[in-house]
Structure 1
Amino acid sequence: MNVSILVPLVLVYIGIMSWLAYYGYKKTVTKEDFLVGGRNTNPIIMALSYGATFISTSAMVGFGGVASVYGMGLLWLAFLNIVLGIFVAFAVFGKRIRKMSSKMNATTFPTFLGKHYDSKFITVFSGIMIFIFMPAYTSIVLIGGGRFLQESLAINFNVALLILAFIVAVYVISGGIKAVMYTDAFGAVIMLIGMSIFLFVTYHAVGGLFEGHQALQAMKSMVPEDLAADGHNGWMSMPDMGSPMWWTLVSTMILGVGIGVLAQPQLAMRSMTVSSNKSLYRSVIVGGIFIFFMAGAAYIIGPLSNVYFMETNGQLAIQAAEGNTDLVIPRLISELMPEWFVYLFTLTLISATLSTVSSLIHVQSSAFGEDILRTIGVKKVFSGKISTNRLGVIVGMVLAVVLAYALPGGIIAQATAFWFGICAAGFLPALTGALFWKGSSKQGASASMIVGFSISVFGFLFLKSSQSTAFGVSQALFGRDFLLPYPWTHIDPLVYALPLSTIVFVGVSVMTKSKEKTGWNKEKIDAVQ
């Protein structure tokens, strides 16, 4: 890439983002402005911000690369992304979260749960879980953006990482959620344009819509022996049911991320930022179109890259990427796309990185400052010179950068599934009960969250081989990378952690019979519903 062209483009882009962040800063007066945007955000801005937060480098680069190995079966995840991640999240969960959070004056996800169940423990525990585990997800998004800047700008990875971290920290500290959402929406437009062009050019390169899929179907005989032994049936088919590839694709990629989206704190909070149900319904249309072109395009381009690389290089995509799925999409862009698009996609990936990281850091900061410190009575630090929320931005950013250095390559999709899965097991039963079941109790919610997070983390550390081997805890304690044989080595912990946490939630709630003891009692729930 011509740095003399790219650098001015990036500077103009950063200038626009900075102006939007400053605009958000000027509009941020109260704590409610900082945390939930004053609850009057334009629905289009909210939907674009939601989509840009949802779809990051993990989807475009990480899952796009994974799709080049697993094939079109990953499109089931795009289906769940739209049905659960947009329609159910906005039209079903979102409208109740909006009404209830406004009535309770809840401005964060943990505070929402804590106030509903009248439990400081739930607020603090939720905040701690977010603050401990979210940096892992934040770091892999930073890695994706940092690696692309490293290649495109020919700068040191450490420098690229610190530049991204500094930019995000500045406008989240100054403008809060308003700055985050304005910059997200601008980034989303660039992302949508970039991925739409990428999808069109990819189809053109492989001969067209039908020709490309036919060519991919014809490559079934080229599946490597090791993948065929794991159940691979070609890139146009699902793996053999019950095979290692099937368990990974279905339980980790499709269910782990597809279901986990409903319990993502940074996404659930978006419903708190609009003024009416009508705004949420409008957001469904914009969000659905955005996710279709972003997630759907990435999961189609990944498999089709095999056709392109085989025709041009005589290699499968994973071979052309030297075995690293995170490099498939960058290599495809480098070889396939015209020079001008590389500049556009650079801005697309920067947008994806900044939008997601800024939202994650905002949630981490509110978890640290609002849900943990303020709940236990700490309102100011350093003699009142800095607010707890802004201190949380700094601490969360430092943790994310440190982890970005520590995590290995090819980890983007796995780390995404890890975060989405533990959120589903830990938060989803309690959140669903708060929204729809008058018989839920704080004892049931507390027990469910403890069980959900504990079982999920245990599964990732000691049972699922891809993560337990990488973490090394099982090897250090027991001299084995994982404790149980197949299929436990390939089953995502969500598959057993979510049912267990749900059973605990329902069982304990029924036994305690405390539906009248929540801080938000039956009459108040009826009034909202």
Structure 2
Amino acid sequence: MAIKLLTTLAYFAIVFYLGYKGWKETKGASDYMLAGRRVNPFVMAMSYGATFISTSAIIGFGGAAGLFGFPLLWLTVFNLSFGIFIAMIFFGKRTRRMGLALNCHTFPELLGKRYQSRFIQGFSGGVIFMFIPVYAAAVLIGICRMVEVSLGLPYTWVLLGVTAIIALYVITGGMKAVMYTDAFQGSIMAVMMLILICYTYSMLGGVTEAHQALTDMAQLMPEKLQKGGMLGWTQGSVPFSPLWLTIYTTIVYGVGIGVLAQPQLAVRYMTVPGDRELNRAVLYGGIFILLMTGVAFIVGALSNAVFFKEFGKISIAMAGGNIDKIIPTFIETMMPPWFSAIFLLAMFAAAMSTLSSQFHVGGTSLGHDIYARAMRTRVRAAGNSMAVNQMGVVITILASLVWAWVLPESVIARATAFFFGLCGAAFLPAYLLGLYWKGMTKAGAKFSIIGGFIASMLWLLFIHEKEAASIGLCQLLFGKTTLVADAAKGSWIFLLQWVDPNVVALPLSFLLAWGVSAFSTSLADEHVEACWQNC
């Protein structure tokens, strides 16, 4: 315990120093929201990766891998191809150039100025401000569960303490403090994950022996999961079974594609001075994402073999039925005490890097995009502008704290997938086509954003079984958990309950963007050319 406390104090001393450094270098709104657009490529890549990968990935999805096994590695493939390569090369460069040409500071402002629409900026900012606290709560729950298991502290105390620490440097230091601390925290995370995977394989006798041991355990897969279509942790699931649909449409597709329209990630493209920095960031970011997600998913799956070898139980049984406790339990039970102490800091790093960015983007969505822009409010002085954004950050933090209190167990992966999918359906078509298609119109963007958002929410409320059953609106209005619950079991209509909303909402959003744009008036030629300036 003493080692953990001393290491933790040293870690927070460095974090607060970097937060103080960011505060000293923050002179105005541009510094607060975009770090002055002069960020080093390594710092940008580590900040991007640390924001992208958090306790929701390591604790939440790592725990899901303890349940579903190696199929979750397909999400790593999507993260690398879409979240790093396509994001940096095809989205990052044009976003940076267009953001500079239009003098944009936030993701909603980029959309709003591209389409000359206060409504688009305000609506996009409203969606982000309303729902990013759910994603932030998932990350908060992840680190709090880790501390709860590691230090034996009450969950509520941990929740309040972690929130207060992050709030202190995000509210005062802005984007510079966020990115400095992200780079430091991301470096800790990378080292810890390397040690974790090597040690896990060594406990099982090597790579081949470990995978064979997990393959031989297929008969131990819980009966409920077998009924849902699971064959084993290495064998995967029956194609088009309920759990196959959950893994591949929600976890792999929903999260893997949704990353392209994440506002807290998109804004980082606008913090670097040129394309060369983005090219360099691809290498740093790719290695980082591979270490984070690949290791978490492999270790999550292999934890079943390690636990069974040592205790005769699989992971979900060791974690008391809560998948969010699988990775924390594995670290505390199977890893050396020194590693447990440092890994706890790595999880602090993962949580704090993502939470700081979530709080920051939620606050600027309210302060800059809704209050100052969409509501036509004049915020004249730089100090007043920062104060408004800081107040937005405070409100976002409080909302995240409330969600972290009320959300149920085993919710981290679901809450993350919800926000990623919602952003993909609402923003991705308007964002992508706005970058590459001059014929994309204001009307097309409005219909796409609103239509994608509504379609995603309706599917969640009335079709997707997990959310529809938890919220209960469909039960209240129609007397059944989902609108397709009465369909014949095994039919394609019945299986829609496990199809992610993004499978339907994203294509619809693209169709609306293209269809409405084809039959509506284009923006003024001079504005369209301004958008493509230097692109």
TM-score (norm 1): 0.97
Is the 8 Å Cα contact of residues 116 and 518 (structure 1) preserved in structure 2? no
Is 1:369–1:392's contact at 8 Å kept on the other side of the alignment?
yes
Equivalent position amino acid for 2:428 in 1 = L
Q: Give the superposed CA RMSD.
A: 1.6
Q: Cα distance 1:216–1:518, how it changes in 2: closer, same or farther (>3 A)?
A: farther
- Counterpart of 2:450 in structure 1 is 450
Matches within 5 A, 1:315-394: 315-375=313-373, 376-379=375-378, 387-394=387-394
Spell out, residue by residue over 1:35-87, the C-alpha distance to the aligned partner (whole angstroms, 9 max, x if none). 11111100000000111111111111110010111111111100110111011
Equivalent residue in structure 1 for 2:200, among 202, 212, 230: 202
Q: How does 1:215-294 map to 2 (within 5 A)?
A: 215-294=213-292
What's the CA shift for 1:225? 2.7
**Does residue 1:517 correspond to 2:524, yes or no?**
yes
Q: By how many angstroms is 1:144 displaced?
A: 1.1
Indicate conservation of the 8 Å contact 2:188/2:346, yes or no. Answer: yes
The answer on whether the counterparts of 1:439 and 1:513 sit within 8 Å (CA) in structure 2 is: no
Residues 386 and 184 of structure 1: is their aligned pair in 2 closer, same or farther, counting only changes over 3 Å? closer
Mean Cα deviation higher: 192-201 or 117-126: 192-201
> Structure 1 residue 528 and structure 2 residue 524: aligned?
no
Kindly provide the CA deviation profile for residues 126-164 of structure 1, in whole angstroms up to 9, marking residues without a partner as x.
000000111100111111112222232332222211111
SS of 2:129's equivalent in the other structure is: helix
Is the CA contact (8 Å cut-off) linking 1:115 and 1:520 kept in structure 2?
no
8 Å CA contact retained: 2:150, 2:328: no
C-alpha separation in 1, matches of 2:525 and 2:5: 56
Contact 1:379 1:388 in 2 (8 A): no
Residue 112 of structure 2 is matched in structure 1 by 114
Identity fraction in percent: 44
- Residue pair 1:460, 1:468 contacting (<8 A) in 2 also: yes
Tell me, yes or no, if the aligned pair for 2:146 and 2:325 is still in contact at 8 Å: no
CA distance in structure 1 between the aligned counterparts of 2:166 and 2:29, rounded to whole angstroms: 19
The separation in 2 between residues aligned to 1:6 and 1:134, in whole angstroms, is 31
Query: Counterpart amino acid of 2:212?
Result: Q
2:400 aligned partner: 400
TM-superposed deviation, 1:234: 1.4
Distance 1:125 1:294, change over 3 A: same
Give structure 1 stretches of 5+ with no counterpart. none
Deviates more, 1:218-227 or 1:155-164: 218-227
Q: Which position in structure 2 is the counterpart of 1:89?
A: 87
Partner of residue 298, structure 2? 300
Deviation track 1:229-267 (CA, whole Å, cap 9, x = no partner) reads: 221121112311110011000000000100000000000
Q: Is the 8 Å Cα contact of residues 117 and 519 (structure 1) preserved in structure 2?
A: no
What does residue range 486-525 of structure 1 map to in structure 2 within 5 Å? 486-514=494-522, 516-517=523-524, 520-521=527-528, 523-525=529-531
> 1:520 is matched by which residue type in structure 2?
H
Aligned residue for 2:427? Answer: 427
- The code of the aligned residue for 1:377 comes to R
Deviations 1:408-432 (Å, cap 9, x if unpaired)? 0100000000000000000000000
Kept in 1: contact 2:149–2:332 (CA 8 A) = no
Query: 1:479: how far off?
Result: 2.5
CA spacing shift, 1:506–1:494, aligned 2, 3 Å: same
The 5 A counterparts of 1:153-232 are 153-232=151-230
SS of corresponding position for 2:321: coil
Equivalent-residue separation in structure 2 for 1:152 and 1:378 (angstroms): 47
CA shift for structure 1 position 384: 5.7
The counterpart of 1:14, out of the listed 2, 12, 15, is 12
Q: Which residue of 1 aligns with 2:488?
A: none
Tell me by how many angstroms 1:474 deviates.
1.9
Give CA deviations for 1:164-194 in whole Å, capped at 9, x if unaligned: 1112111111110000000011110111111
Deviation at 1:14, TM superposition (A): 0.8
**Which residue type is aligned with residue 409 of structure 1?**
E
For residue 528 of structure 1, report the CA deviation from its aligned partner: 2.6
